[in-house]
Structure 1
Amino acid sequence: MNYTTQMDAARRGVITKEMEAVARKEYMPPEALRELVAAGQVVIPANRNHSSLDPCGIGRGQSTKINVNLGVSQDCCSMETELEKVRRAIELKTDAIMDLSCYGKTESFRRKLIDISPAAVGTVPVYDAVGFYDKDLQDISAAEFLAVVEKHAEDGVDFMTIHAGINRETAARFKKNPRLTNIVSRGGSLLFAWMELNDRENPFFEYFDQLLEICRRYDVTISLGDACRPGSIKDATDAAQIQELIVLGELTQRAWEKDVQVIIEGPGHMSLNEIIPNMLLEKKLCHGAPFYVLGPLVTDVAPGYDHITSAIGGAIAAAHGADFLCYVTPAEHLRLPTLEDMKEGIIASRIAAHAADLAKGIAGARQWDDQMSEARRNLDWEKMFALAVDPEKARRYRAESRPENEDSCTMCGKMCAVRNMNRVLGEAGPV
């Protein structure tokens, strides 16, 4: 049977090879997964032109996924450095990679990324438009914005961030309700500026039906961007953010009518007590569509440590409804991340995602912890290293401080509670 998108197939009762692959990974009956994809509650970003893809499911009942941002910029424009990050991110088990390139040979880098990445690949086409056309933002036409989207789709991009929710009504709401940090979304600020300079509607909102046709043709998942996400604790859950979320919910239904898969993007920065209400709002207003969050960062005062502030917020968000976490590195707000920054961000996000999966009862999550606990009880260091979220660091720490007794560590030595309990209970030699 012919079908256009994963959602179209699911609604026709077809279980695609991508659904079968995801169902195996998630320990889920394929028919149950098909029903969730048909309802829009799970997406499988899988552009038909991405031949190296190992598909993943994002949404209800799936393990929490993480995304890594990278790409070339004007100040850091080494394509090989960014490709090295791609390879390392894949080794560190990221589920998705977003190419945020905004300078230079973006097309060449994007194609190489798609060729080598088994992870889903995302982009933000509006970033590319200014460099692609080599003209001022104000002079780019609506048709040219859409042409960049089609080019990315043709290249094999699996999901695209499209800031269609910041229409003129949302922009007016923002202007009536001043913020401490204004609009911090790069794509959102570009489109806001374009609307102000041209006194016109957001082209992605005005021509949303044409956008959907492109996405349907290539099976691109739309990640509806949160142009009005809060960039500070003070701006969280304000009028502009909620106004945009309402619009995103309406756009979600329009996309589903065309069998186009949808992800909703969310905050941002917010205090701990606001996270759970925001998760409930998104799921309600956006009809259960998968939710993708940047953090949220739970305090604004930790530059250099924002991978930690993000992991705290991400764990809470994912435990209460978020499905997809965008990693944040220690370099957030400071500079383009290095390889080591990227690793720290990935590990922090994976910890947050797994902590949430434990809380949600995701199949297979608790077994990993139980296996680690068994290895610790048995003082089986090699198994502990193998099971660790970061085996390299665990092995290095052990090697840097060797104990007198190999069945202990230098924290407790012969006083090790695990070692002594094993002996007292007859599972090892004398104390």
Structure 2
Amino acid sequence: MYTTQMDAARKGIITDEMRTVARKEGVSAEKIRELVACGRVVIPANRNHKGLDPAGIGEGLRTKINVNIGISRDCRNFDIELEKARTAIDLKTDSIMDLSSYGKTHEFRKKLIEMSPVMIGTVPVYDVTGFYNKELDKISADEFFNVVEQHAKDGVDFMTVHAGINRETARRFKQNQRLTNIVSRGGALLFAWMELTGRENPFYEQFDRLLEICEKYDVTISLGDALRPGSINDSTDAAQIHELIVLGELTRRAWERNVQVMIEGPGHMAMNEIAPNVVLEKRLCHGAPFYVLGPLVTDIAPGYDHITAAIGGAIAASCGADFLCYVTPAEHLRLPDINDMKEGIIAARIAAHAADIAKGISGAREWDYKMSEARRNLDWNCMFELALDPEKPRRYRENSIPENDDTCTMCGNMCAVKNMNRILKGENIDIL
């Protein structure tokens, strides 16, 4: 018998989930077992998530992406958010995080888990005030943990828990002034709770209690970066690094209980700081998988932050980050609609795939080679089938039909590909 995927791996047991991940990644099941055993790969798979098609996150595996959805006070339509989830699954997201913070969150979460074959994550602290209908300073430590256990019981595969922002980390934050303070929603809530109550963060103070819940249901902990930078001015500062050190210590404690761990990473950061931050995380957190939001490499592009995030995500993943949280054009502006979500997914998948090419992930380059062959052959249908998003290039082609089928309306008979194919065959070309 085993309690978690890590427990099984350390006992030499190859689980069905490990076999599934091995098949998807094109590596041996024994290799997956070894990586799970040492914490460098996680397989978030709550035993109560019955319809899950497991995936692995971590060293040597394809870079995964996450999509955020959820109901809020201003946007509480279940049907819209569930439609987003279905669309995200169709667009091949690897994970969905339910960030619901208002209303019938339990009902929504249950529906989402029942219909989703991809892993589901949550941030339980978002749910606490609505669950108890209490102001933040009236919530007890027990009530925080009750919500965590409810999420675990419902079948959530991984949870973001901001256990690294303790009173000492908060002191360092206050002593080192930032331009944008704390931008993590969960981090800000727990910082405010500590300030209002004068007490220690319950997730840090009673970390063993959290581990007990995660071990019971095999929930992967995603240790949240409460002090992630919210602007390029604030990146890699004393508070961020101090929290990362704490997260490394908590990682070892979790592994002692056979609880799987991911580490969440910075949000806004200049490009030249990304690679050193990945090295720091891998070093200080003992090779645990790294889950990053972006990073957004500039702060001046509201409405286009899916692009700023994709640039940072590609760099981070090429340097060793394992999991990218998508960012949409609506970031910082509103709850994304389904079109925003699609743009965010495609941008994140491009970033992940570009990084996989650089990391030498099996099959990544071959996909590109097949596309290049289709382009050389001017095989438009094959190009569409290979495209990451087949619908958009097909629509572009249909909206601007060329005179000759073997060209496009940009180059026409001056098409370099067409003319090179003919010249190399010894044929004549007809430009005019």
- TM-score of the superposition, structure 2-length normalised? 0.99
Partner Cα distance (1:320, 1:253) in 2: 23
Partner Cα distance (1:25, 1:377) in 2: 29
SS at 2:291 equivalent? strand
Give the equivalent residue in structure 1 for 2:130: 131
Residues 74-93 of structure 1: per-residue CA shift (max 9 Å, x gap): 11111110000000000000
The Cα of 1:361 is off from its aligned counterpart by 0.1
Is 1:171 aligned to 2:152, yes or no? no
SS at 1:161 equivalent? strand
- TM-score of the superposition, structure 1-length normalised? 0.99
Residues 65-120 of structure 1: per-residue CA shift (max 9 Å, x gap): 00001100111111110000000000000000000000111011100110111110
Give the equivalent residue in structure 1 for 2:416: 417
The Cα of 1:428 is off from its aligned counterpart by 7.6
Give the equivalent residue in structure 2 for 1:341: 340
Partner Cα distance (2:427, 2:190) in 1: 67
Give the equivalent residue in structure 1 for 2:384: 385
Partner Cα distance (2:224, 2:276) in 1: 19
The Cα of 1:240 is off from its aligned counterpart by 0.5
Letter in 2 for 1:266: G
Partner Cα distance (2:426, 2:76) in 1: 58
The count of aligned residue pairs is 430
Partner Cα distance (1:186, 1:405) in 2: 55
Give the equivalent residue in structure 2 for 1:56: 55
Partner Cα distance (1:60, 1:116) in 2: 29
The aligned runs of 1:394-409 (5 Å cut-off) are 394-409=393-408
SS at 1:69 equivalent? strand
Gaps of 5+ in 1: none
Cα 1:416–1:82 shift into 2, 3 Å: same
Residues 158-216 of structure 1: per-residue CA shift (max 9 Å, x gap): 00000000001100000110110000000000000000111000000011001000000
Partner Cα distance (2:70, 2:113) in 1: 13
Percent identity of equivalent pairs: 74
Partner Cα distance (1:427, 1:133) in 2: 78
Letter in 2 for 1:167: N
Residues 343-379 of structure 1: per-residue CA shift (max 9 Å, x gap): 0000000000000000000001111001101111111
Gaps of 5+ in 2: none
SS at 2:287 equivalent? coil
Partner Cα distance (1:94, 1:302) in 2: 24
Moved over 2 A (4+): 427-431
Letter in 2 for 1:63: R
Give the equivalent residue in structure 2 for 1:311: 310
Give the equivalent residue in structure 2 for 1:353: 352
Residues 5-26 of structure 1: per-residue CA shift (max 9 Å, x gap): 0000000001100000000110
The aligned runs of 1:97-136 (5 Å cut-off) are 97-136=96-135
The aligned runs of 1:185-264 (5 Å cut-off) are 185-264=184-263
Partner Cα distance (1:30, 1:220) in 2: 21
The Cα of 1:426 is off from its aligned counterpart by 1.8
Give the equivalent residue in structure 1 for 2:68: 69
Give the equivalent residue in structure 2 for 1:180: 179
Partner Cα distance (1:412, 1:324) in 2: 39
Partner Cα distance (1:166, 1:316) in 2: 27
The Cα of 1:409 is off from its aligned counterpart by 0.6
Residues 288-326 of structure 1: per-residue CA shift (max 9 Å, x gap): 000000000000000000000000000000000100000
SS at 1:145 equivalent? helix
The Cα of 1:422 is off from its aligned counterpart by 1.0
Give the equivalent residue in structure 1 for 2:27: 28
Partner Cα distance (1:423, 1:271) in 2: 47
Partner Cα distance (1:99, 1:84) in 2: 13
Partner Cα distance (1:43, 1:140) in 2: 32
Partner Cα distance (2:60, 2:54) in 1: 16
What is the alpha-carbon root mean square deviation over aligned residues? Answer: 0.9
SS at 1:54 equivalent? coil
